[in-house]
Chain A
């Protein structure tokens, strides 16, 4: 594979790249999740009564 015959070497080659990609995906997930949570939080702020109680979904 990739011009390398020994599986212990190409596995190491792939493991390095996949671990870096894994880090990228993991970090990106928390980046995205944080932004989504903020959006939900700010939109949910608009749907509260004067007392701060959430408006029931069927009245929105």
Chain B
């Protein structure tokens, strides 16, 4: 790496000092279980939006997808638009307010408890808590491995030590400080990420001669696309691939699958809707969330594509030819190391570390509360144990330990698929029943249970026995049936999301229609407006009355 170790260590010390100070501010405000689990339900909209964004955007979203943009081109910018529209606007304006209100009406303090209480089912709470507690450590292990490798390459420290140090640092403020500490630190990290990406944006465009000039230079490079990619439909980095070509399909499926519809059902993100005091706070948070995502993914994809211009001017090669074996994951780090001044490489390294830390902290808190609170305290102990925060802390410590052990024992091929596996599982298991819980009063307890069970089992079945990307490295199908996948041909390419989510929706609708509805009194209680929102409506009315009266 081009950056000197002493500069980076100095930056790292300042950064960690700031992290612990901010975490301490959050810790001081926490006292009750609601404070530990839901940050006291009074978080500032800006903190909520930054925390949501920082937990949403991991290092791979910047490095991995930036590299994909360097290979496929700027068509990936449509994913930025979809991320902002679904991941922020629809999430905050459509899903957020109902989640917050209903969570408060039902007294829920975790995501599994929210859906459990909404359908008056302890089974739903325990099952979803178990699902999160068992599978999220796998997802978390992929994030901590990434961070360990990152520290190994940047600081030159031993990988095993790097992994342990990274985990202990995050675990300390997650366990001690609870969600408020996590969200405060997330917000600080998000600001660091904005500064890092903002600098790269301005620096790259000015280095390449300005916005239009940089794009024009990239447009003029269309004839440099390797023949193998041209044969697959690549028409240049500022053109969409040929309609219906393999690259067109890759880009469209990446955009569609990466849209973040699944993000709406991610427990570690949905729980953040319940941390603000009113609906207006969620609407205000949109002002921060949208631009934040643009600064993260928008900048990463644009700069990823423009790295081709930089490498061509300095080395006479396109980005794919600069990195070994055309590995797209290495394009962004290589570009940053070559193009940026040393001091800013160090800042950007911290920006990437912040992205990994904020995602890991959100995972640690969610999987720990799922095991400690939803599974142990509420389901096994039937809510008898009073030491909620204490039990949850043990749950967090336990699940972090599991994630670390998984990081050491599982083969890299499985870890590499862990994020996709968890996202797919969450979408199939939670999205249909979450939509039913918020928007369809006819959804019954049995319908929600069927959707949860069928969604998760079908997703697990498909990825274990059919989808080649997971089934092959897992080797379970091979051990039982003597072949890598049960089906062959195109089926092995179909993502579990596309099979399990429709099945889960179908189960929700069909079973709900043939089973008795929840009582009208309960539904009235779950869906009622809160005092603060009624006040908001009254304020609107009084302000319009005042306007008309000329006050």
Kindly report which residue of chain B lies nearest to residue A25, judged by CB atoms: B287
Q: Is the CB of A44 within 8 A of B287?
A: no
Kindly report which residue of chain B lies nearest to residue A22, judged by CB atoms: B290
Kindly report which residue of chain A lies nearest to residue B210, judged by CB atoms: A3
Q: Which of B502-551 contact A (CB under 8 A)?
A: 536, 539-540, 542-543, 546, 549, 551
- Interface residue count for B (Cβ, 8 Å)? 47
Give the distance to chain B from A26, nearest Cβ to Cβ, in Å: 5
Beyond A4-B219, A16-B81, is A30–B283 a contact (Cβ under 8 Å)?
A: yes
Q: Is the CB of A8 within 8 A of B240?
A: yes
Q: Is the CB of B219 within 8 A of A13?
A: no
**24 pairs, A vs B, C-beta closer than 8 Å:** A3-B211, A3-B218, A4-B215, A4-B219, A9-B73, A9-B238, A9-B240, A13-B77, A16-B84, A16-B294, A16-B298, A19-B81, A19-B290, A20-B293, A23-B287, A24-B291, A26-B89, A26-B283, A33-B543, A34-B284, A37-B539, A37-B542, A37-B543, A41-B539
CA distance A19 to B259 in the complex (A): 14
B285 at the interface (CB under 8 A from A): yes
Q: Is the CB of A5 within 8 A of B219?
A: yes
B residues in contact with A48, CB < 8 Å: none
Give the distance to chain B from A32, nearest Cβ to Cβ, in Å: 10
A residues in contact with B433, CB < 8 Å: none
B residues in contact with A43, CB < 8 Å: 551
Give the distance to chain A from B69, nearest Cβ to Cβ, in Å: 11
- Residues of chain A touching chain B, judged by Cβ–Cβ distance below 8 Å, are 2-6, 8-9, 12-13, 15-17, 19-28, 30-31, 33-34, 36-38, 40-41, 43-44, 57
Kindly report which residue of chain A lies nearest to residue B539, judged by CB atoms: A37
**Contact among A4, A12, A22, A57 for B78, CB-based, below 8 A:** A12
B residues in contact with A24, CB < 8 Å: 287, 290-291
CA distance A30 to B97 in the complex (A): 14
B254 at the interface (CB under 8 A from A): no
Kindly report which residue of chain A lies nearest to residue B89, judged by CB atoms: A23
Q: Is the CB of A34 within 8 A of B280?
A: yes
Q: Which of B201-243 contact A (CB under 8 A)?
A: 211-219, 238-240
